[in-house]
Amino acid sequence: MIRVGPRNSITDVPGIRVGNAEDHGLITGTTVIVPEEAALCAVDHRGGAIGARDTIALMPGSVGGWVHAICLSGGSAFGLDASGGVMDALRQEGKGFAFGGTLVPIVPSAIIFDLMVGQPSWDTPPWWDLGKAAYLAATTDFALGNSGAGIGATAGDLKGGLGTASFRSDDYTLGALAVVNPVGSTVIPGSDTFWAWITEQDGELGGQTPPRAQPDILKAAPWVGTPNTTLVVVATDADLDRDMALRLAIMAQDGIARAINPVHSPMDGDTVFVLSTGQKDRPDPTRGLTKLGALAADATSRAIARGVYEADALAGIPSYLDRHGG
């Protein structure tokens, strides 16, 4: 039996916590996903404008593959500093891999472009401190919408945000978290309906209905003219090896494509991380992994739509509920 987890959150996966921190003046923030123990991690990049740090070590053929946290941040390339704050907090707690007499926590990160939402000037860049604050705030219950890395996010011409969703089967728990900041639209043009409407569970999107008319695909993108990105973290308690985790990330990317149109554009930095805590048995590498990948794609679509649904209007950017009700 497949059902929604008790929190409908990535933190339904045992041992996963999430922390948020925001700078409300700059309208930017950071979200950190923290496994209880170092977890196996894979990544799949699909956008044409990727901003990331320490993801090469997650690629096939590299020595790495285990991480202590994943950091998602606003701030464009400046926001890559946030993972340094996370690393420092982990080090102070005695967490990391021991090399040459010191501890080195591994914290891959990815960023969105949000510098045109708030006031794009500062005396001291805030993202290192935001990363540390987000890590220290990590818990199983966290705010969605205009929180963490989602505070400055936009989704086409609507306010974007932070979303999450989960599934639990008799064998595994899987959850997805999304920072939703795409060039494309999450809503079918000429309707009030999310592209991801068919994946909705338990009324989490207000009770979506099919669009009343055939959508005009050529009007699907309210271009905003700035680089944007959707960032996703999928976590599961299934015991995956590196090849299986990568395949799960690839399948989860299809969840982005079901929720946003257009997607993976030259201006997007779409990235999916997968975390495996390995607490349950290893799935069958064909049928079992296929089933898990299908859940990952659907959870990703739901998390994306929830990120927009839960966001409030900010800085003159309308919310989904302002425009479409609910």
Contacts of 253 (CB under 8 A, 6+ apart): 44, 46, 264, 270, 272, 297, 300
Q: Strands of the chain (E only): list them.
A: 16-23, 28-35, 39-45, 52-53, 66-67, 70-73, 97-99, 102-104, 109-111, 154-155, 158-159, 161-168, 173-181, 229-236, 271-276
pLDDT for the residue 218: 62
pLDDT for the residue 221: 53
pLDDT for the residue 219: 61
Residue 172 confidence class, pLDDT cut points 50, 70, 90: very high
Residue 120 pLDDT greater than 80, yes or no = no
Residue 80 pLDDT greater than 80, yes or no = yes
pLDDT digits (tens, 9 = 90+) for 256-309: 999 999 899 888 999 999 999 999 999 999 999 999 999 999 999 999 999 999
pLDDT for the residue 2: 95
In the DSSP assignment, the letter for residue 258 is: H
pLDDT digits (tens, 9 = 90+) for 1-57: 899 999 999 999 999 999 999 999 999 999 999 999 999 999 999 989 999 999 999
Distance CA 67, CA 42 (A): 10
pLDDT digits (tens, 9 = 90+) for 179-234: 999 999 999 988 899 999 999 999 999 999 988 777 766 665 555 556 689 999 99
Residue 112 pLDDT greater than 90, yes or no = yes
Share of the chain above pLDDT 90, in %: 84
Closest by CA to 256, choosing from 139, 168, 326, 178, is 178
Distance CA 80, CA 92 (A): 20
